[in-house]
C-alpha cells in the first residue's frame, strides 16, 4: 500500500506529462507541414499574382483552425520576393506558435515553437546563360578531366597526365612501408586510420589534406563546361 501510494501518483503524473509532450510534438509536425505546403503554394502563385499579404494570414489561420492547443501565432519575420544571402526572389517566414495542452496538473503543458522556412518564388528569370539543347539535356554529357588548381587543358580518361594525380586512402602500416612521410605537411605525425593522399604512379610520399603537393588533383566535368571555363584540349590525348 505504501509503495502504491508513492509510485502511483508519480506514474500518473509521468503519463499525463508524456501525453502533453506527444500532443505538442504532433502539433509541431503538422504546423511545419501546413507552413511548407502554403509556402509552396505561394511560390507557385507568385508568377500570376502578388499574394504576399495573404500568405502569412493563410498559414496562421490554418494552424489555429487545425489545432485546439494552439493559443496564438505571432509573425516574427516575413519577406516576400526579397533578396537575402545573395539570392533573389525569396519568400521567408518566421512564425512563433504558442501551445497549451491544458493537462489537469498544468505541468509541462505550455510550449513555444518557432517555424522558420524559406522558399523561392517560381517567377522565372532570364539569366543570359548558354542553355543546353534537348539532346544535351537528355544525354549523360561528354565527360573530361581537368586540374582545377594547376591545369590549363582538359583530358580524356586514360591520358598519361592523369596518372600523375593523387588518390586517397586510410593510413596503414602498408602505406608507411611503401611511402615516406611528407616533410611539408608533417604527415608522419598522423595516426593509423587517418585520411591521407598519395600518388600511386609517381609519388614517394604520403600527404595530409591541404598539403601543397596535392595541387595535381583532377576532377571530372563536362567538356562544354571545361571549354567555357577557358580550358583547351590536351595535346597528348586530344581532350
Using the 3D structure, point to which of 120, 144, 177 is the last residue of a domain.
120
- pTM (two decimals): 0.48
- Grid coordinates representing 169 are 586512402
- pLDDT, the chain, mean: 79
Residues spanned by the domain of 95: 7-120
For residues 109 and 159, membership in a common domain is answered with: no
How far is Cα 220 from Cα 36, in angstroms, rounded to an integer?
Answer: 36
Whether 72 is covered by a domain: the verdict is yes
For residues 97 and 33, membership in a common domain is answered with: yes
Alpha carbon distances (Å) from 106 to 6, 13, 43, 103, 232: 20, 10, 40, 5, 72
For residues 74 and 146, membership in a common domain is answered with: no
For residues 98 and 198, membership in a common domain is answered with: no
Number of domain units in the chain: 2
pLDDT (0 to 100) of residue 49: 84
Size of the chain, expressed as the number of residues it contains: 239
pLDDT (0 to 100) of residue 107: 73
Using the 3D structure, point to which of 95, 120, 145 is the last residue of a domain.
120
Whether 139 is covered by a domain: the verdict is yes
Amino acid at each position: 500500500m505504501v509503495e502504491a501510494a508513492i509510485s502511483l501518483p508519480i506514474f500518473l503524473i509521468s503519463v499525463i506529462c508524456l501525453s502533453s509532450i506527444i500532443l505538442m510534438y504532433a502539433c509541431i509536425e503538422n504546423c511545419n507541414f501546413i507552413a511548407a505546403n502554403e509556402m509552396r503554394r505561394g511560390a507557385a502563385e507568385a508568377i500570376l499574382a502578388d499574394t504576399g499579404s495573404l500568405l502569412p494570414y493563410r498559414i496562421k489561420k490554418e494552424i489555429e483552425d487545425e489545432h485546439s492547443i494552439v493559443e496564438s501565432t505571432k509573425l516574427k519575420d516575413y519577406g516576400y520576393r526579397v533578396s537575402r544571402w545573395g539570392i533573389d526572389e525569396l519568400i521567408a517566414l518566421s512564425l512563433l506558435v504558442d501551445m497549451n495542452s491544458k493537462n489537469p496538473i498544468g505541468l509541462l503543458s505550455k510550449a513555444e515553437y518557432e517555424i522558420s522556412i524559406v522558399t523561392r518564388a517560381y517567377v522565372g528569370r532570364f539569366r543570359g546563360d548558354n542553355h543546353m539543347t534537348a539532346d544535351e539535356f537528355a544525354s549523360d554529357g561528354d565527360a573530361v578531366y581537368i586540374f582545377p588548381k594547376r591545369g590549363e587543358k582538359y583530358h580524356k580518361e586514360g591520358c598519361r597526365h592523369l596518372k600523375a594525380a593523387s588518390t586517397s586512402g586510410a593510413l596503414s602500416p602498408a602505406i608507411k612501408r611503401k611511402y615516406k612521410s611528407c616533410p611539408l605537411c608533417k604527415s608522419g605525425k598522423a595516426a593509423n586510420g587517418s585520411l591521407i593522399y598519395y600518388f600511386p604512379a609517381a609519388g614517394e610520399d604520403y600527404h595530409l589534406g591541404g598539403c601543397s603537393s596535392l595541387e595535381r588533383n583532377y576532377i571530372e566535368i563536362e567538356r562544354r563546361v571545361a571549354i567555357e571555363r577557358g580550358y583547351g584540349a590536351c595535346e597528348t590525348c586530344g581532350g
